[in-house]
């Protein structure tokens, strides 16, 4: 039976190690992006605040997606190298091990992404934040967290870094593009039999991409957003339980 205080100290020490290795790069994104955007705004004078916001969201989004993929990649690399065995032989619990990586690869990057969008406009013009209300920021966080947890859960179960990279590219690039194209074809095709399936595509789109779906005008009820939140919570619980039951200290 692992002493709870020893386990807490071990988790704190390991979380610091993980954050120093991975999460600091995500926080760096939130710090550097406002400086770059403010400099570009001053140098180029982009007249439209909404245009500036879209440019910022696109650029930081690409960096954010890459950072989450890299973070989960390093998590699975821990398994292929066998270094996780060293840490799990300490008072650190299996859940604590998974939770430290979960925070570094899912929670911190999502918060950094939202901050990287908000900070420039707080500096330049706080009224610009009205272009993205609280709902949009919540959807941004939810989408990033859900997608990263899908990669995290797959990495925890499969333990193959190359598959994590492939899954990340599919989730962040291929699948949302395909879903948007299919939805548009179904809605604007003029064929009733095809448009009947548009709701199903919209639900899947909102389940995985609540922010991007709203951005491109995919219409669906708030049930899709609640389902996305439920999926994210289920992935967290499943990952922690899987870690508790299946992570081995030896062999």
pLDDT tens digits for 197-242?
A: 777 888 888 888 888 887 777 766 677 778 889 999 999 999 999 9
The answer for 92, left when phi > 0, alpha when psi is -120 to 50, beta otherwise, is beta
Q: Give the pLDDT mean for 16-25.
A: 76
Round to whole Å and give the CA distance between 17 and 21. Answer: 6
Other C-beta atoms lying within 10 Å of the C-beta of residue 189: 12
Please state the length of the chain.
251
Asked if the model's pLDDT at residue 1 lies above 50, the reply is no
pLDDT, mean of residues 137-153: 88
- Per-residue pLDDT averaged across 47-57, rounded? 66
The pLDDT assigned to 250 comes to: 41
Rounded (10°) angle between helices 134-158 and 94-102:
140
Could you tell me if 153 and 235 are in contact, meaning their C-beta atoms sit under 8 angstroms apart?
yes
């Amino acid at each position: 039976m692992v002493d709870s205080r020893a386990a807490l100290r071990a988790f704190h020490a390991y979380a610091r190690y993980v954050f120093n290795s991975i999460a600091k790069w995500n926080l760096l994104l939130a710090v550097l992006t406002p400086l770059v955007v403010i400099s570009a705004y001053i140098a180029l004078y982009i007249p439209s605040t909404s245009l500036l916001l879209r440019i910022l969201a696109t650029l930081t989004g690409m960096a954010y997606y890459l950072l989450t993929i890299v973070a989960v990649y390093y998590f699975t690399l821990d398994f292929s190298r066998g270094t996780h065995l060293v840490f799990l032989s300490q008072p650190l619990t299996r859940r604590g091990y998974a939770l430290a990586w979960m925070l570094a690869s899912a929670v911190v990057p999502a918060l950094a992404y939202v901050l990287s969008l908000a900070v420039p406009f707080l500096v330049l013009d706080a009224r610009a934040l009205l272009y993205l209300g609280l709902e949009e920021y919540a959807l941004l966080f939810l989408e990033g967290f859900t997608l990263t947890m899908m990669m995290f859960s797959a990495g925890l179960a499969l333990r193959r870094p190359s598959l994590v990279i492939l899954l990340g590219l599919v989730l962040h690039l291929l699948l949302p593009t395909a879903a948007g194209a299919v939805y548009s074809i179904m809605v604007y095709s003029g064929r009733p039999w095809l448009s009947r399936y548009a709701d199903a595509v919209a639900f899947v789109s909102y389940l995985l991409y609540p922010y991007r779906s709203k951005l491109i005008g995919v219409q669906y009820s708030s049930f899709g957003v609640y389902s996305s939140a439920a999926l994210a919570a289920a992935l967290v619980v499943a990952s922690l339980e899987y870690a508790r039951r299946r992570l081995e200290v030896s062999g």
